[in-house]
Amino acid sequence: MRTTLRILQYEWKDLLRGKWVAGYGIFFLVLTDLLLRFAGSGANVLISLTNVMLLFIPLAALIYGVLYLYQSREFVELLLAQPISRNSLYWGIYGGLSVPLTGAFLVGVALPLTWHGVWTSEALASALLVLGMGSLLTLLFIGLGFWLGFAFYEDRIKGFGFALIAWLVMAVLYDALVLLVIYVFGDYPLEKPVLAMSVLNPIDLARIVILLKFDISALMGYTGAVFSRFFGSAWGMVAALFCMGLWWSIPLWRGQRIFTKRDF
């Protein structure tokens, strides 16, 4: 545990000095500030922010997760020759990457919200939800990146390729599948199957939970009512968190298995 924290701390310093994380944070800062200046009310800004966030965070986290493993290969080998366990090292690297990246996102979004005074009143809960979902997606997709990165540790092209494909599938193609199901089985009541499908994809899950929070459920008619009721219930929240948890833990666990077993 102590070593994990040491690794995390040093890596964190190292990352912060690199321009990537700063750039990532500044991107969200500028985006949020511009949206607040030009897109009007708090709810609109948060919805636009959600749009960008759902697209960009998974991509950035995946790519950066994979890239960081490749970049830090020698560092990892250096540390593996030291008297520390592979588990400490693995969690150290994961923490060292996900903490700054999540932090950059949170700071980048929260600062403009603060100086534009959006934290007040009714926007607070929605803003917290958006920040929470963004953080969750960051943690989850870095984990997925780690899995892919370690699975294709010797073949960077493959690693990057699969990361991009994973992103494309989850951000776009999965929804195409949902649409296809809706089209093919359009004559049946589909709310529940579609609900199940949405819960299975973390990007969709985050998107829908946020949309429902923003009262767009009224737009969604009966479907929205079904979804609202599901996510409003204790069961729904547990199921959603459980699925998010699976998406977070399974890739990380697979990555850890590969990391502790593989040769360097």
Partner 1 sequence: MIRIENISKSFDRLEVLKRISLQIPRGQATGIVGPNGSGKTTLIKMILGLVKPDEGTIQVADKELNGHFEYRHLIGYMPQIARYPENMKVRELIDFIKEVRNDEAVFEQELIEEFELTRELNKPLRNLSGGYRQKVGACIAMMFDPLILILDEPTAGLDPQSSQRFKRRLEHEKDKGKTILLTSHIMSEIEELTDHLVFLLEGKIRYDGSMNDLMQDTREPHLEAAVARMMEENL
Partner 2 sequence: MRNASLEAFLPQWLRPCYIVMICLAPLILWSPRLVADQLIVDKAGGSDTYATIKEALQQATDGDHLFIRSGHYLEHNLQVNKSIVIEGEDGAIVDGDHQGYVMVVHADSVTINNLEIHNSKVSYVEDYAGLLFEEVKGGKVTNSRFKGNFFGIYLAKSEGVTIANNELHSKFKRESGAGNGIHLWYCKDIHVHNNRVFGHRDGIYFEFVESSLITENYSENNMRYGLHFMFSDSCAYRNNTFRDNGAGVAVMYTQHVVMEDNTFIHNWGTASYGLLLKEIKYSKVRNNRFEQNTIGLYTEASTDVEITHNEFVENGWAAKVQANSVDNNFKENNFIGNTFDVATNSRQNYNQFDGNYWSHYNGYDLDQDGVGDVPYRPVTLFSYLVQRHSVAIILLRSMLVDLLNAAERVMPVLTPETLVDSKPKMKQIK
Residues near partner 1 (CB under 8 A): 3, 6-7, 10-11, 13-14, 17-18, 72, 74-75, 77-86, 261, 263-264
Which residues, including other chains, have CB under 8 Å from residue 109's CB and lie 6 or more apart?
Answer: 28, 29, 32, 49, 130, 131, 134
Which residues, including other chains, have CB under 8 Å from residue 166's CB and lie 6 or more apart?
Answer: 62, 144, 148
DSSP letter for 188, please: S
- Which residue in 44, 68, 50 sits closest to 105, CA to CA? 50
Answer yes or no whether residue 179 interacts with partner 2 by CB under 8 A. yes
**31-60: contacts with partner 2 (CB under 8 A):** 44, 47, 50-51, 54-55
Shortest distance, CB of residue 175 to partner 2, whole angstroms? Answer: 4
Answer yes or no whether residue 135 interacts with partner 2 by CB under 8 A. no
Answer yes or no whether residue 191 interacts with partner 2 by CB under 8 A. yes
Shortest distance, CB of residue 179 to partner 2, whole angstroms? Answer: 6
Instruction: Tokens for 66, please give them.
Output: 């994979």
Q: How many residues bind partner 2 (CB under 8 A)?
A: 37
Using CB atoms within 10 A of its CB, is residue 112 exposed (0-12), middle (13-18) or buried (19+)? buried
Distance CA 37, CA 70 (A): 39
Opening angle at CA 236, ends 205 and 99, nearest 5? 50
Task: Answer whether 231's CB lies under 8 Å from 212's CB.
Answer: yes
Distance CA 206, CA 240 (A): 9
Q: Which of 107, 176, 246, 250 binds partner 2 (CB under 8 A)?
A: 176
From the list partner 1, partner 2, none, partner contacted by residue 171 (C-beta under 5 to 8 A by kind): partner 2
Answer yes or no whether residue 180 interacts with partner 2 by CB under 8 A. no
From the list partner 1, partner 2, none, partner contacted by residue 13 (C-beta under 5 to 8 A by kind): partner 1
Distance CA 129, CA 136 (A): 10
From the list partner 1, partner 2, none, partner contacted by residue 186 (C-beta under 5 to 8 A by kind): partner 2
Q: Which of 216, 239, 243, 258 binds partner 2 (CB under 8 A)?
A: 216
From the list partner 1, partner 2, none, partner contacted by residue 261 (C-beta under 5 to 8 A by kind): partner 1
Binding site for partner 2 (CB under 8 A): 44, 47, 50-51, 54-55, 171-173, 175-176, 178-179, 182-183, 186, 190-191, 194-195, 198, 204, 207-208, 211, 215-225, 227
